[in-house]
Structure 1
């Protein structure tokens, strides 16, 4: 699937997994820091200094692209702390799409409460360094006028951290990253009380293909190059892709389909259902059960499970 990484090989020669883990983490940090800096170089002259919006909106499928936010820039410390908790040997790599407005935290699937509980990292917006004004705005609310809970993050971290044998080993040997750490939003109109009011809407990577602009292409090329380098460095035995878009990107980057398994994305939008705040566990449990069934159909996943059958039982 991936070429051997010389840094990992050298580190094994000089002391085993401890040094290898240290070297891989440092190389991974270098990849992501370079990506952060590349984004800033590309975006530097494209944004208004006052609020970080694009000087020229980019037309697309439905709404104009108005903000491109480099989440690594202001959540770099949180991202570093997450990298430090990377396992020494990443057996399973989960790959998501990109941050949503409710998760601009430097950590994929950044559910604030669960990240604090599981990793001891505070990703609240108050702790982010120089967060763009738009992400503090009340324009980022759900249809009821409340700050939205990160449903995708809640479901994902529940899946990988349930206190049962069949999930525990996955958590210990897994890591998660996104296709891109960039957040894209566009201006639209929303019915809000007695009159129409402009608000910001997330533009997914799947919809970004309709925004045929050189700026977007340059940013995504940098994202995909970093993703490929990171996967080649980590050398997971299996990549779990959340959704068709991620699967297609990985295939484009040259990763064999025998090493990639696609599962349903944890977003409730995928199921065409709103999250039930009164009973979130029901929707979460349904998604987790569905993903486990999808994984069980993959031969490589089953091989990994058998290899860890003392710890994992499916």
Structure 2
């Protein structure tokens, strides 16, 4: 297969996997205290496609987050999707559709959103500083989220997947595990990096279903999550993560 054909094949597989995931997620139901559910793979699908079109078959490092933040992927369709990084650095453009029902405290404004996602600003800010050009980053890296859904309570408070009921977590896990396995098997990764403990645990579980020869070629590691809710992340997150990436051999 030619290099160009391989690039197209990898991107098509990632897009098809994401398309199956977004359809599966739309079939799920969630109860109290969750009152609003956003699926950015639906309303921001055009932006997500532009993101996946930057994936490379030569990528070696797969970074995994948990689920979208309200001012990041929820707006842009890109994992940890800080608006400025997505629009100005990656060059992703376009409009997003509306959501119904929309929580009044969590409006979807797409790339026009003026709020900043701190986790995304930290993660993509580090990548921009280290690699300068997005093409250089994507040549060796890709970032995905385990679950594409945003869960909100009546107050507008974000509810992460680990806080859902056991039944709801199990329903999500079936489809998100399948999607993650497909992503892992699409490219011959060398490093699987969980952004936080939750993502690392997802990798560990899904790797049990991956063929042994492929699994032996990968190393699993964890980096500090960039959330401002973490005191450790508020003390030189970038410096900590650079050391962690170097220690595991990814950088």
Aligned residues: 236
Superposition pairs of residues 1-314 of structure 1, within 5 angstroms: 12=1, 15=2, 17-40=3-26, 42-43=27-28, 46=29, 57-58=31-32, 64-103=33-72, 104=74, 105-122=76-93, 127-135=95-103, 137-138=104-105, 148-162=115-129, 170-187=137-154, 199-208=155-164, 211-213=165-167, 215-254=168-207, 259-271=219-231, 283=234, 286-298=236-248, 300-301=249-250, 305=251
Alpha-carbon distance, 1:238 to partner: 0.7
Which consecutive residues of structure 2, in runs of 5 or more, have no partner in the other structure? 108-113, 209-214
State the distance in 2 between where 1:163 and 1:241 align: 19
Q: What's the TM-score, normalizing by structure 2?
A: 0.83
Instruction: Specify the SS of the correspondent of 1:67.
Output: strand
Which consecutive residues of structure 1, in runs of 5 or more, have no partner in the other structure? 1-11, 47-53, 59-63, 141-146, 188-198, 274-282, 306-314
The 8 Å contact of residues 61 and 191 in structure 2, kept in 1 or not, is answered as: yes
Alpha-carbon distance, 1:178 to partner: 0.5
Q: Which has the greater radius of gyration?
A: 1
Distance 1:139 1:76, change over 3 A: closer
Q: What's the TM-score, normalizing by structure 1?
A: 0.68
For the aligned residues, what is the CA RMSD? 2.7
Q: Give per-residue Cα distances to partners, 1:157-180, cap 9 Å, x unaligned.
A: 111111568x99555311110011
State the distance in 2 between where 1:293 and 1:91 align: 18
The 8 Å contact of residues 155 and 288 in structure 1, kept in 2 or not, is answered as: yes
Alpha-carbon distance, 1:87 to partner: 2.3
The 8 Å contact of residues 160 and 171 in structure 1, kept in 2 or not, is answered as: no
